């Protein structure tokens, strides 16, 4: 970077959504930003709830600043864009030409993206990252889901009136708890691994039959049903898609017996931009033994369980249903460490020679940019907002090169 040029600034404000204890920049990533040529500004107290006092930041070279100064940085890193509120007063501190990076839930709350666009800010919504190997180090959904799956098992174990592992004593043998995990994505696999470490007998189900080997590798039994889902080829790195009402009804019918035999059920099924599918009906809950526990990790998206309520624990027919809300924030220290590293890895794609210069030919950059130049750019978000589709951009140099290579490749067998 040119010694006489004004250094880029990057800042992290304190999150103000109730219960949100994470922070988008931790002391551990500050040195990397400074090395890249940034001045790092942190709002006073931004990391306190996650165990990062102001002094931990200044020791690494960051500066403590006021909220408006942080929100005026060239790059603003957040956990919740505009505090999930399109009418947030924080929007008044933004300026055209800035970059904001974080979670905006643009497919569920497109109005937030529109508010950012109205202020001329370029928004990168990291929920929209492509599920590719290269993007894994920036994948906030995976890093936070991993923590949610772990914590879900601990929440269930704390409520269950049984011990989780098998225990042999002079008074007899205590059988291990039976835990059934619905959904074997990142959260589900983390829950399986945690339950196994606690000594439970674990079984799991997913509409994507390709995850069977991953489930079994963790020591769990993969439950199979006679059900065509159209998603048999997707692994744990692929998103599940919404099923029809008929498919869901058949799934519930075949699943009822497995649910009834479980001490704990953990549901993790979510579909981006849509209400979570109801996997457990009231009748299925009533079929479980009194004292059983259900943890609904999709409660914030409408819930996988009839009767679950976001952020509340209720008892229905003797079964405790934990309706979770923002589980990663309950493990704020480690959740912040992983989230901040995801953000730092993404920022590295945007900076070239000490200047902000996002590479539009980069699929990771292109697929996450949600707003720019005063308008919403992402096609799906525009559609939800009722905006006209923008003209398709010309193919990038990399895409053209790939097309040429594909057309000239010999498709015969390799000698």
Based on the residue annotation, tell me whether 239 is a catalytic residue of this protein.
yes
List the one residue out of 29, 23, 70 whose CA is nearest residue 50: 23
Rg (CA), the chain: 23
Tell the residue number behind the tokens 């075949």, with chain if given: 254
Give the C-alpha separation, 271 to 101, whole Å: 22
How many Cβ atoms sit within 10 Å of the Cβ of residue 136? 14
Choosing from 28, 44, 136, 231, which is the catalytic residue? 136
Choosing from 28, 84, 131, 231, which is the catalytic residue? 131
How many Cβ atoms sit within 10 Å of the Cβ of residue 75? 23
Based on the residue annotation, tell me whether 3 is a catalytic residue of this protein.
no
Based on the residue annotation, tell me whether 406 is a catalytic residue of this protein.
no
Structure tokens at 271: 């579909």
List the one residue out of 234, 178, 177 whose CA is nearest residue 206: 234
3-class secondary-structure state, position 380 = helix
Based on the residue annotation, tell me whether 136 is a catalytic residue of this protein.
yes
What secondary structure does DSSP assign to 310-340, as a single string? TT-EEEETTEEEEE---GGGGGHHHHHHHHH
- Ranges of H-type helices in 2-105: 27-35, 54-58, 67-71
Choosing from 59, 239, 312, 352, which is the catalytic residue? 239
Based on the residue annotation, tell me whether 139 is a catalytic residue of this protein.
yes
Tell the residue number behind the tokens 């790092």, with chain if given: 40
Choosing from 90, 139, 206, 296, which is the catalytic residue? 139
Choosing from 98, 114, 125, 142, which is the catalytic residue? 142
- Spell out a b/e string for 27-40, using b for 16 or more CB atoms within 10 Å of the CB, else e: bebbebbbebbbbb
- 170: exposed, middle or buried (Cβ count in 10 Å: 0-12, 13-18, 19+): exposed
Catalytic positions, written as ranges: 131, 136, 139, 142, 239
């Amino acid at each position: 970077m040119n010694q006489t040029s004004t250094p880029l600034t990057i800042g992290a404000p304190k999150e103000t959504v109730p219960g949100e204890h994470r922070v988008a920049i931790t002391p551990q990533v500050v040195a990397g930003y400074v090395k890249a040529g940034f001045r790092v500004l942190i709002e006073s107290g931004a990391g306190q709830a996650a165990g990062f006092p102001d002094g931990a930041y200044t020791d690494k070279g960051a500066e403590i600043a006021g909220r408006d100064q942080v929100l005026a940085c060239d790059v603003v890193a957040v956990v919740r864009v505009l505090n999930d509120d399109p009418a947030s007063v924080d929007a008044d501190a933004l300026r055209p030409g800035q970059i904001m990076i974080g979670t905006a839930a643009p497919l569920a709350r497109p109005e937030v993206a529109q508010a950012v666009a109205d202020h001329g800010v370029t928004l990168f919504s990291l929920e929209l990252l492509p599920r590719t190997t290269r993007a894994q180090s920036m994948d906030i959904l995976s890093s936070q889901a991993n923590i949610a799956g772990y914590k879900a098992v601990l929440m269930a174990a704390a409520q269950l009136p049984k011990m989780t592992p098998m225990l042999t004593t002079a008074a007899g043998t205590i059988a291990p708890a039976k835990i059934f995990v619905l959904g074997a994505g990142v959260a589900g696999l983390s829950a399986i691994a945690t339950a196994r470490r606690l000594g439970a007998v674990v079984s799991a189900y997913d509409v994507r039959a390709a995850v069977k080997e991953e489930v079994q590798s963790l020591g769990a039994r993969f439950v199979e049903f006679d059900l065509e889902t159209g998603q048999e080829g997707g692994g744990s790195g692929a998103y599940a898609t919404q099923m029809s009402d008929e498919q869901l009804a058949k799934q519930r019918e075949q699943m009822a017996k497995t649910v009834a035999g479980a001490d704990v059920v953990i549901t993790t099924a979510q579909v981006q931009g849509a209400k979570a599918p109801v996997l457990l009906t009231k009748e299925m809950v009533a079929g479980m033994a009194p004292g059983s526990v259900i943890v609904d990790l999709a409660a914030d998206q409408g819930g996988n369980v009839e009767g679950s309520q976001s952020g509340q624990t209720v008892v229905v027919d003797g079964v405790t249903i934990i309706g979770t809300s923002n589980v990663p924030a309950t493990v704020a220290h480690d959740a912040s460490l992983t989230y901040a590293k995801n953000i730092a890895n993404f920022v590295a794609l945007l900076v070239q020679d000490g200047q902000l210069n996002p590479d539009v030919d980069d699929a990771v950059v292109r697929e996450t940019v949600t707003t720019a130049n005063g308008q919403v750019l992402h096609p799906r978000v525009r559609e939800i907002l009722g905006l006209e589709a923008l003209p398709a951009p010309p193919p990038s140099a990399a895409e053209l090169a790939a097309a040429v290579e594909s057309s000239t490749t010999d498709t015969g067998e390799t000698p």
